[in-house]
């Protein structure tokens, strides 16, 4: 539980408390008024974080409402920060940039040429979102997104993981200097960024939730099966009784037949109601909230690539990140860009997923979705969703 103790010690220290470690795994805290009020502590509190508590200590753990109380103390602070990534020693750029670029660039209908390379500072956004999925059970998770505003590309998941690792380990926090800000330039179009962030976030949340949803569907199938078996048995026995009365005559037989028919109807109604209950119980709600954002000013080697398609030319930038020794993928003007392959459009040389230039399933016309949107310009039919998914619809906060 060392991490929790360190967090609490840092937080209380920043709130003006006087803290003193006590063994085993505890803290003595002399807290100012506002901390005492927020946490409900006496002036001198002894906190214990381990399985073994120091004498007279209050146990603090991830369970209970402690995290909520610490969260209230932190408030909105730390939601957004700017930081410069400064490497302890310079890292030489790749000796074979063309080969490295070949590894990330797969243009199916265009050629490219490396035009220029220069070291510079770029601005990356690292955003954290929390999702909460609730059905009969509950699942929470964090999603990290990385976006390079200098090149307009999303960083792959393992690039984001590695950057976080670098930042978390032995690196002094440094505020961005004026020179870095000037080199990183203005932030790119916020509305495009918001739209693309939404699409990518959607994909990542669905991907994260897939095992949870699979397990949920198994439980739902099992429960539906049980409800069916139970009611099918009841119904069968009511039907058998009714058919045994088929040839009987007289008032009593008539009343018995009526009773059994009503029983069958009741069982069928109950079955439908039980299925409705299950549907309600297993209905999925997903909520996604933005938690934290870091603007990271990072040194990169920027490769300027000239792309040629028919008579058109376009220059795009691809950065190599020395901190993690990785080349980022090329931007993607339409689609999630999860695959390496890109198609280039004739009119504006947009780089898109293969689906971004695909022919219309109805009339066969091919068009660029980045230029003309998702509806076919000839027959107006909409392109089906980009990702194959039959998961339930979710909501964003
Ligand atoms: Zn286009
Ligand atoms: Zn069409």
Closest by CA position to 174, among listed 56, 9, 39, 323: 323
Q: In the beta sheet, which residues pair with residue 29?
A: 19, 45
Span from the CA of 334 to the centroid of ligand 2 (angstroms): 18
Ligand nearest to the CA of 373: 1
Task: Read off the pLDDT of residues 238-274 as tens digits, 9 standing for 90 and up.
Answer: 899 888 888 888 888 889 888 989 999 999 999 999 9
What is the spatial distance between Cα 381 and Cα 11, in angstroms, rounded to a whole number? 56
Which numbered ligand comes closest to the C-alpha of 365?
A: 2
Which of 11-15, 239-243, 252-256, 354-358 is predicted most confidently? Answer: 354-358
Residues 6+ apart with CB under 8 A from 184: 121, 122, 123, 149, 150, 176, 297
* Ordered strands of the 18-22 beta sheet: 18-22, 26-30, 44-48, 58-59
- Ligand 1 centroid to 114 CA: how many Å? 22
> Ligand nearest 335 Cα, by number?
1
CA distance 253 to 245: 7
Ligand nearest to the CA of 349: 1
pLDDT tens digits, residue range 143-201? 999 999 999 999 999 999 999 999 988 678 899 999 999 888 877 677 778 888 999 99
Identify the nearest ligand to the CA of 367 by its number. 1
Nearest ligand to the CA of 362 is: 2
Percent of the chain surpassing pLDDT 90: 63
pTM for this entry:
0.80
Could you tell me the distance, in angstroms and rounded to a whole number, from the CA of residue 312 to the centre of ligand 1? 12
Residues with CB under 5 A from ligand 2 (ion): 360, 362-363, 376, 378-379
- Ligand 1 centroid–CA 314 distance in Å is 12
């Amino acid at each position: 539980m060392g991490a929790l103790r360190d967090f609490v010690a840092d937080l209380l220290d920043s709130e003006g408390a006087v803290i003193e470690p006590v063994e085993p795994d505890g803290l003595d805290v002399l807290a100012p008024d506002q901390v005492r009020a927020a946490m409900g502590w006496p002036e001198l509190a002894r906190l214990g974080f381990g399985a073994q508590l120091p004498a007279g200590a209050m146990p603090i753990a991830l369970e209970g409402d402690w995290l909520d109380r610490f969260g209230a103390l932190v408030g909105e602070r730390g939601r957004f920060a700017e930081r410069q990534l400064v490497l302890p020693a310079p890292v030489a750029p790749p000796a074979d940039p063309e080969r490295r670029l070949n590894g990330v660039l797969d243009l199916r209908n265009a050629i490219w040429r490396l035009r220029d390379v220069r070291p510079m500072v770029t601005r990356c956004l690292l955003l954290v979102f929390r999702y909460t999925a609730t059905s009969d059970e509950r699942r929470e998770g964090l999603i990290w997104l990385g976006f390079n505003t200098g090149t307009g590309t999303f960083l792959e998941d393992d690039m984001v993981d590695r950057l976080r690792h670098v930042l978390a380990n032995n690196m002094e926090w440094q505020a961005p200097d004026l020179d870095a800000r000037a080199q990183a330039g203005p932030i790119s179009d916020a509305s495009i960024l918001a739209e693309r962030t939404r699409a990518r976030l959607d994909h990542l949340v669905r991907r994260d939730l897939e095992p949870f949803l699979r397990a949920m569907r198994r439980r739902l199938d099992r429960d539906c099966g049980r409800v069916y078996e139970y009611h099918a048995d009841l119904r069968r026995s009511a039907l058998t009784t009714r058919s045994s009365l088929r040839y009987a005559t007289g008032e009593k037989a008539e009343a018995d037949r009526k009773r059994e028919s009503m029983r069958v109807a009741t069982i069928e109604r109950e079955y439908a109601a039980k299925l409705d209950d299950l549907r309600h119980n297993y209905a999925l709600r997903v909520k996604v909230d933005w938690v934290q954002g870091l603007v990271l000013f990072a040194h990169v080697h920027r490769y300027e690539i000239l792309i040629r398609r028919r008579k058109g030319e376009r220059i795009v930038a691809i950065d190599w990140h020395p901190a993690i020794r990785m080349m980022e993928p090329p931007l993607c003007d339409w689609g999630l860009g999860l695959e390496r392959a890109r198609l280039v459009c004739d009119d504006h040389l947009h780089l898109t997923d293969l689906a971004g230039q695909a022919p219309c399933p109805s009339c066969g016309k091919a068009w660029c979705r980045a230029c003309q949107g998702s509806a076919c310009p000839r027959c107006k039919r909409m392109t089906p969703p980009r990702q194959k998914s039959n998961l339930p619809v979710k909501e964003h906060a």
